[in-house]
Amino acid sequence: DGGITQSPKYLFRKEGQNVTLSCEQNLNHDAMYWYRQDPGQGLRLIYYSQIVNDFQKGDIAEGYSVSREKKESFPLTVTSAQKNPTAFYLCASSPHPPLDRARNQPQHFGDGTRLSIL
């Protein structure tokens, strides 16, 4: 079945450590996104990518980095500069780039990675 796979499901970070969250999709979607969800809150956009080798900052990009070397993969690195990294991280994809206004499509989500601090 097609879908979005996030791994690991749970991740622990030590002080000063960078950690990378994996997101893979086999839906042949152009656009991919990373969101952060805090308890009792909605989703906030960290980064998004419309095509391979291109990505843009979202609302809360500080302390995070991404790459998009392959269409199906969009890994997120939580760097030591992110002082409050404990959260639920969600990856999403959509068929068309978000700026293709004529073809609004919903984003489809993976099942998330829960990151905690040791």
Minimum CB distance to other proteins, residue 95 (Å): 12
Binding mask 32-51 for other proteins (x = CB under 8 A): --------xxxxxx--x-x-
Residue 96 found at the interface with other proteins (CB under 8 A)? no
Residue 27 or 80 having the CB closest to other proteins: 27
Q: Interior CA angle at 7 toward 13 and 38, to 5°?
A: 60
Residue 54 found at the interface with other proteins (CB under 8 A)? no
According to CB under 8 A, which one of 15, 53, 106, 118 is a site residue for other proteins?
106
Between the alpha carbon of residue 37 and those of residues 69, 71, 94, 97, the distances in Å are: 25, 24, 19, 22
CB burial readout 10-25, b (16+ within 10 A) else e: ebebeeeeebebbbbb
Closest CA to 26 of 72, 69, 76: 72
Interface contacts to other proteins, rule CB under 8 A: 4, 6, 40-45, 48, 50, 56, 58-59, 90, 92, 98-99, 101, 104, 106-112, 114
